[in-house]
Amino acid sequence: MKIEILGVKLDDLSQSEVVKLICSKIRSGEKFTVVTPNPEFLVTAHRDEDFKKTLGKADLAIPDGVGLVIIPRLMGFRPYLSQRVAGADVVENILSAAAPEGWRIGVAGARRGETHEAKELIERLEVKYRGIEIENLEDKKDWRNIKYDVIFACQGMGEQEKWIFEYLDKSKSSLYMGIGGSLDFLAGFSARAPILLRTIGFEWLWRLMTRPKTHLVRAYRAFFVFPMLLIKERLSFLFLDPE
């Protein structure tokens, strides 16, 4: 089931359902695209029609932000999303399945394109997930002629989604997924929130506390601008001239 919020359609699935669907698509070898919107994505999409259209092209849109679940529900929007699905958890499940399945994984834009840091990130992941093979696409001039089972685009909101759809039909690879900094968490470059905070939906608070300069503006957009846009949409609907 898809739930539309501020003109962006999101898939209302559990984490296990998302992982099962993605893995089945990887095994089938068909092209499949995944985006992971949070409230900041929707705020940006509200003022950037091209970005909104790009999100709408994705085969699967995972609600990776607790605000997408809680805020519309508190404001009385129906239907509403039943749960958040953390992109980092989905990525972890894919990496865990990759070695036994023999999947070939490519990474684009890791560590802001810094070759040395991207190499270290990949080395850490290959140690953590034994038997996995990951390639940095920046090191592969002919990567578009290689059939990767999975390509993770890590450039960050907006840029990674644009990159995915720029190369989707120019390459042989199957699954494309925009994941932001998820690999940084999994490789230990950034500390992720304790499991308790993640379980109760307060991972955003941990990020705000540990990196206030980076996440203060993001928190403002998620917990002030996003609700204001929902209110504006609701009022526009209520007072819309029927003619």
The answer to whether residues 34 and 176 touch, using CB atoms and an 8 Å cutoff, is yes
pLDDT in the model for residue 243: 45
**In this model, does residue 207 exceed pLDDT 90?**
no
**In this model, does residue 81 exceed pLDDT 60?**
yes
What is the average per-residue pLDDT within 14-43? 97
The answer to whether residues 174 and 29 touch, using CB atoms and an 8 Å cutoff, is yes
**In this model, does residue 141 exceed pLDDT 50?**
yes
Of 46, 93, 90, 49, nearest to 179 by C-alpha is: 90
The domain segmentation of the chain, as residue ranges, is 2-238
**In this model, does residue 6 exceed pLDDT 90?**
yes
pLDDT in the model for residue 237: 67
**pTM summary value:** 0.92
**What is the tens place of the pLDDT at every residue in 33-78?**
999 999 999 999 999 999 999 999 999 999 999 999 999 999 989 8
What is the average per-residue pLDDT within 156-174? 96
Token pair 């759809």 is found at 165
Of 243, 237, 230, 132, nearest to 186 by C-alpha is: 132
CA distance 75 to 13: 21
Q: For the chain, what is the mean pLDDT?
A: 92
pLDDT in the model for residue 49: 97
Inter-axis angle of helices 39-47 and 66-74, nearest 10: 80
